[in-house]
Amino acid sequence: MALMQNVGLPYSEDLYNYSDQKKKDFFGINPSQSVSSCAPRINGCSSRRSLKVSANIKGYKKVETINGKKVNGIHVEGMPFLGQRNTDLIKDSSIEEPNHEYLLGRFVEDRFVYRQSFVIRSYEIGPDKTATMETLMNLLQETALNHVASSGVGGNGFGATREMSLRKLIWVVTRIHVQVDKYSSWGDVVEIDTWVDAAGKNGMRRDWIIRDYNTHKIITRATSTWVIMNRETRRLCKIPDEVKREVQPFYLNRAAIAAEDIDIEKIEKVTDEFAEKIRTGLAPRWSDMDANQHVNNVKYIGWILEVCHAKY
């Protein structure tokens, strides 16, 4: 089936070798403080339409041994729809009904890159008739989660591996940088590629590129850094060796955004004066909660952008 072919597309000239960046340790994580929350803060509202967000991560402590003790044989089941089933469908060329793997994604480039296409829906565009930043970030999230689920190492929950689920560990995002060149319109098809790489010793980097399906041009680039947290103690921990063994085979030394283009300047603390200008009355809604019963990074971005919508 031609539709499912693995294509090594010559996009490498648009991307970057990340080996220098890999040598760095945890990005912007201060190991001396205690975890409070993972609420991100946006670095202003750039007219360049580039979004840089860092989580206010505190409290890197070694809890690996605690995690080790806590392994208690939780039942770890596969994701509800992907994994092997997707592969099975690929083999079956006699399907009479719509093949829903087209609605999902597939591995390309020797399984280093996961690719999924989306049609921008009517309710995913904003007043300017283009896809909102929340939409883009939701699609990035969806692609990332399907990547993990399809990889065969997915555990319970959102994006965790089996070995992570066994240890009650979850990924938390510490930094995300989204650079948009063009926002899509209703009905446009976008093709999202995602892959992962190491970020220091205890982080994982996840990159994405979004292409316009018709022009094949890259219209958005994004990079993010993730670390592991124990969902009960809410403390960050090192990546256990078992988890490293799960994810390392997928590591790809390629960067969606060149290291020199990544703004690593620290976000200024909110001062009393600036706080006065903050929009009030933006209370969380029940509908802001995700399946983990918490407000995820995408919603925070949406809230943040409420104060500077004119530029987005």
Residue among 149 and 198 whose Cβ is closer to a copy of itself: 149
Characterize the bridge pairing of strands 40-42 and 113-119: unpaired
What's the CA gap between 85 and 92, in Å, rounded? 11
Size of the site for a copy of itself (CB under 8 A): 54
Q: Which listed range, 26-34, 57-65, 126-134, 256-264, lies at the site for a copy of itself (CB under 8 A)?
A: 126-134
- Does residue 10 touch a copy of itself according to CB under 8 A? no
Q: Which listed range, 69-77, 130-138, 165-173, 266-274, lies at the site for a copy of itself (CB under 8 A)?
A: 130-138
Characterize the bridge pairing of strands 218-230 and 236-237: antiparallel
Residue among 200 and 302 whose Cβ is closer to a copy of itself: 302
- Does residue 59 touch a copy of itself according to CB under 8 A? no
Please give the sequence-ordered ranges of beta strands (E in DSSP) within 122-263, or none if there are none.
169-180, 189-199, 203-212, 218-230, 236-237
- Does residue 3 touch a copy of itself according to CB under 8 A? yes
Residue among 190 and 237 whose Cβ is closer to a copy of itself: 190
- Does residue 274 touch a copy of itself according to CB under 8 A? no
Q: Which of residues 74-113 bind a copy of itself (CB under 8 A)?
A: 79-82, 95-100, 102-104
- Does residue 122 touch a copy of itself according to CB under 8 A? yes
What's the CA gap between 199 and 19, in Å, rounded? 10
Q: Which of 18, 60, 107, 118 binds a copy of itself (CB under 8 A)?
A: 118
- In degrees rounded to 5, what are phi and psi of residue 302? -60, -45
Q: Which of residues 168-207 bind a copy of itself (CB under 8 A)?
A: 185-189
Torsion of CA 173, 146, 124, 307, to 10 degrees: 0
Q: Which of 13, 127, 271, 273 binds a copy of itself (CB under 8 A)?
A: 127
Q: One-letter amino acid identity for 103? A: L
Report whether 166 contacts 206 (CB < 8 A). no
Distances (CA, A) of 187 to 37, 120, 125: 37, 5, 10
Distances (CA, A) of 250 to 46, 88, 166, 246: 33, 21, 20, 8
Residues making contact with a copy of itself (CB under 8 A): 2-3, 79-82, 95-100, 102-104, 117-119, 121-123, 125-127, 129, 132, 134, 138, 141-142, 145, 149, 158, 185-189, 213, 281-283, 285-287, 289-291, 293, 298, 302, 305-306, 309
